[in-house]
Structure 1
Amino acid sequence: MNTHLYLRASTKDQDASRAKVALELFAAEKGLSIVGVYSENISGTKLNRPQLLALLEAAEKGQVLLVESVDRLSRLSQADWDTLNATIKAKGLRLVVADLPTSHMLVESNGITGQIMNVINNMLIDLMATMARLDQDKRVERIKQGIENKKLAEPDWKPSGKGRNTTLWEQVKSLMAKHPTMSANQIAKLADCGVATVYRIKRELA
């Protein structure tokens, strides 16, 4: 059975191809032949993603759309997720999520067993897509609250740098101060950001 890999990261500081090796191993274990790899750095809240759209255009009925986790595919609003999900189903694709074991059976299951697993899998994926969207909403709200609190504490303060995540930068600075011997990779993991961001903050503080 043929499969298309979809890889996504939110920012240029993150590596969209990080999961490529893991998905290649997964495909090999399941006897899947990789016919396309689509990778992009773009927010999961956007429905209009060039590589995802290219995958959906190229994929054929019965093939597998393989992703690492549901949040790599969607942090979309409910309406946009409904649109994407309907498109995947209309194309006749099997959506397999590496970290969702119930979806693995879609690779092999047919007949009544396959139909039952498909129903269960769709329910779980819908639930996980909702959780991914709520997690995104919480992140945005935390950032807004962090900026508002900063402005209250320092009325003359203004965010510097286009697109800078002020809350994340403050978190990284705090981690570096508390753990001066910790490596950039370790700090990046704790802050859930790219190593490049950590190095950029280090240069700013130097």
Structure 2
Amino acid sequence: MFVRAYLRASTSAQDAYRARQALGAFAAHHHQKIASYYSENASGASPNRVELRRLLADAYAGDVLLVESIDRLSRLPTDDWKRLRTKIDAKGLRVVALDLPTSHAAMQKTPGDDFTFRMLDAINAMMLDMMAAIARKDYEQRRERQAQGIEKAKAEGRYRGRPINPALHRRVSELLDAGLSIRKVAQHAQCSTSTVQRVKSMNLE
């Protein structure tokens, strides 16, 4: 079994070390080794990702495409996601995500009888599409909340242009969603605590 791990970070400041460790530990738990890592800084809403294309070009039928979560693989609109799924399926890749338990059976060297394997495969395909749709909806809701926050600030005379750059905003939002404290977020994102607090308040509006 050849396991190819894909790590995607939204910004150049984002450190994929934690995700790499999590994927390595997961593979080891299933008595597998990650043969190749593909890491890049790109938005999951973009279909043009160099390292993901390279992974697909390198892959062979039966390989595992391992990701930490489905949103690391895709926050794509429906049509773009369908095109990516078609490429993955055409390569014969099996997608395994840490947050998708139905996919974990693909890490087993002997998946069991054919009927069970096919049933799990069908369930996993359905769940994969569902979680990709949820990831896209989350992305759109984030953007909508940001736009609403800006409009509210404009109406109240508080808006002075973009308070921070969009890439940093996304990075701070992701760290906040991960449950880190304001101080820890500031350290990881390399920004001030006031910037983190400003992003947090905008996300809550």
Matched residue, 1:179: none
Q: What is the CA distance between 1:30 and its match in structure 2?
A: 1.4
Matched residue, 1:22: 22
Q: Which amino acid aligns with 1:149?
A: K
**Distance of 1:200 and 1:103 partners within structure 2:** 41
Q: Which amino acid aligns with 1:58?
A: D
Matched residue, 2:182: 187
**Distance of 1:153 and 1:33 partners within structure 2:** 55
**Distance of 2:188 and 2:87 partners within structure 1:** 32
Alignment of 1:86-105 (within 5 A): 86-105=86-105
Q: Which amino acid aligns with 1:122?
A: A
**Distance of 2:66 and 2:78 partners within structure 1:** 21
* Partner deviation per Cα, 1:129-178 (whole Å, 9 max, x = no partner): 00000000000001111111111111773335654767998x9xxx9xxx
SS state at 1:65 partner: strand
Asked whether the equivalents of residues 44 and 71 of structure 2 are also in contact (C-alpha less than 8 Å), the reply is yes
Matched residue, 2:150: 147
Q: Which amino acid aligns with 2:68?
A: E
Q: How many residues align?
A: 188
Q: Which amino acid aligns with 1:186?
A: S
Q: Which amino acid aligns with 2:48?
A: N
**Distance of 1:115 and 1:167 partners within structure 2:** 38
Matched residue, 1:115: 118
Partner residue of 1:196 out of 176, 185, 190: 190
* Partner deviation per Cα, 1:46-87 (whole Å, 9 max, x = no partner): 111011111111111101000011011110000011011111
Which TM-score applies when normalising by structure 2?
Answer: 0.81
SS state at 1:18 partner: helix
Q: What is the CA distance between 1:16 and its match in structure 2?
A: 2.6
Matched residue, 1:48: 48
Asked whether the equivalents of residues 147 and 167 of structure 1 are also in contact (C-alpha less than 8 Å), the reply is no
> Considering only CA atoms, is the larger Rg found in Structure 1 or Structure 2?
1
Asked whether the equivalents of residues 94 and 107 of structure 1 are also in contact (C-alpha less than 8 Å), the reply is no
Q: Which amino acid aligns with 2:140?
A: D
Q: CA RMSD in A?
A: 2.9
The higher-RCO structure (CA 8 Å, 6+ apart) is 2
Q: What is the CA distance between 1:114 and its match in structure 2?
A: 1.0
Unpaired runs of 5+ in structure 1?
176-184
**Distance of 1:102 and 1:132 partners within structure 2:** 17
Q: Which amino acid aligns with 1:136?
A: Y
Flag the 1:163–1:99 CA change in 2: closer, same or farther, 3 A: closer
**Distance of 2:135 and 2:39 partners within structure 1:** 19
Deviates more, 1:97-106 or 1:27-36: 27-36
Unpaired runs of 5+ in structure 2?
197-205
